[in-house]
Each structure stands twice: as structure tokens, then as C-alpha cells.
Amino acid sequence: MTEVRLTRKGQATRDRIVAAASELMFERGVAGTSTDDVRAAAGVSTSQIYHYFSDKRTLVLAVIAHQTEAVLTTQEPLLSTLDSLEALRAWRDFLVALQQGYGCRGGCPIGSLGSELADVDDEARQAVATGYTRWETSIRAGLHAMRDRGDLRPDADPDRLALATLTALQGGLLLTQVRRDTVALEAALDSMIDHIGSFAPPR
């Protein structure tokens, strides 16, 4: 992708397009959103859209980056300090409450894009994978801190536990959306946190 240096006004227009596209694609999916829908929602002209994004695929990559940032930022400061069972439980409670606040709609903004795009656009698939890796890295850091501190036994594998936790969370967000309740999300995260707790050294 070509990096274009934007004026402050240009950056604001670009941001407005990405925000409008993100919202529409979150609600209707990528296939259900035309660049003309985005143009109308952002209140810009067709030539303005094509000034910033050469085609819909380029816009979709910007949407993935935007949603990754939004998802990770929403979970701060909890996500950066998952270094105790209490912190993991507080994060779990936060995620459940967040989904309930959304009426159990929408699922994961990154996961939905991943599910729709993984097999039809390899660049988009990789961008979603990168988003997951950032998420996973934050969870890893907390679990590594726990093991380093002796709160988890040396045989605990923080990397594998972090990936399993993110995976359970992704399943939980999908089932929340399909069932319209958070029971699956709660059961999966509780099981995973209990499993992490099973690596606590004997007192």
C-alpha cells in the first residue's frame, strides 16, 4: 500500500470514511456494504473515496485495522494487566457486561470480518490474523508475568494458555451473537480461567 501524506483535513475525511465503513460492515457484513453506501454514510463524494482508497479491498483492510484498534482499546486497561486470576476474572466480567450492553448483538468485530473474508481475500485474512496476534500477545504477557512471579508452576505454558483463552473468547462472542445470551461466553471463559488456575503451585 502506498503511504500518502495527508493534511489534517485529509486525515479527518479518511477517518470519517473508515468509521462509516466499519459501522456498515459490522452491521451488514462486507458483501452487504457497497462503496456507495459508505460514501452516503460518510457524507463524501465518490471521487473523495477513491482519492483515499483505490478500491473496496483497500478500504476493507483499513476497516480491519480500525476495528482491531477499537477492540483492543475498549479492553484497556484490563487487557494490559491480565497478571492474576482476579484480573482475568475482572476482564471476563467486563467482556460479558460489554456484550450484554450491546444486546448480545454483533459478535466480535474482528472475528466477523475473519469469518467472512478468510477464504475470499488472503490479504484480509492475514490482517485479521495480525489483529488476533496483537490480542493474544497482551494475554500472553499477563500469563508470563504470573509464571515469572511463581503464581503459575513452571510447567504452565503461558503462550498456549493465552491462545486457548483467546480462542474460547472468540467462540464465546460468536455463540453470544447466535444465542442472544452470554451463557456460552461465561462458561468458556470461566472454564479457561479455572484451567489457568489449575497451574497454581500447591500452597
* Interface residue list for its own copies (CB under 8 A): 27-29, 31-32, 105-107, 111-112, 114-116, 118-120, 125, 128-129, 132, 160-161, 163-164, 166-172, 174-175, 177-180, 183-185, 187-188, 190-192, 194-195, 198
Min separation Cβ 49 and its own copies, Å: 21
Residue among 12 and 93 whose Cβ is closer to its own copies: 93
d(CA 121, CA 84) in angstroms, rounded, equals 38
Min separation Cβ 169 and its own copies, Å: 7
Cα 114 to its chain centre, rounded Å, is: 10
Residue 158's CB is within 10 A of a number of other CB atoms, namely 20
Residue among 15 and 121 whose Cβ is closer to its own copies: 121
Residue among 48 and 167 whose Cβ is closer to its own copies: 167
Residue among 6 and 65 whose Cβ is closer to its own copies: 65
Contacts of 69 (CB under 8 A, 6+ apart): none
Min separation Cβ 60 and its own copies, Å: 14
d(CA 56, CA 151) in angstroms, rounded, equals 48
Residue among 43 and 201 whose Cβ is closer to its own copies: 201
Instruction: Look at residue 181 and give its three-state secondary structure.
Output: coil
Q: Do residues 23 and 41 touch, judged by C-beta distance below 8 A?
A: yes
Cα 145 to its chain centre, rounded Å, is: 23
Q: Do residues 145 and 163 touch, judged by C-beta distance below 8 A?
A: no
Min separation Cβ 12 and its own copies, Å: 29
Residue with cell 450484554: 100
Residue 164 to residues 159, 167, 192: CA-CA distances in angstroms? 9, 5, 8
Min separation Cβ 30 and its own copies, Å: 8
Residue among 91 and 132 whose Cβ is closer to its own copies: 132
Contacts of 140 (CB under 8 A, 6+ apart): 158, 159, 162
Min separation Cβ 64 and its own copies, Å: 11
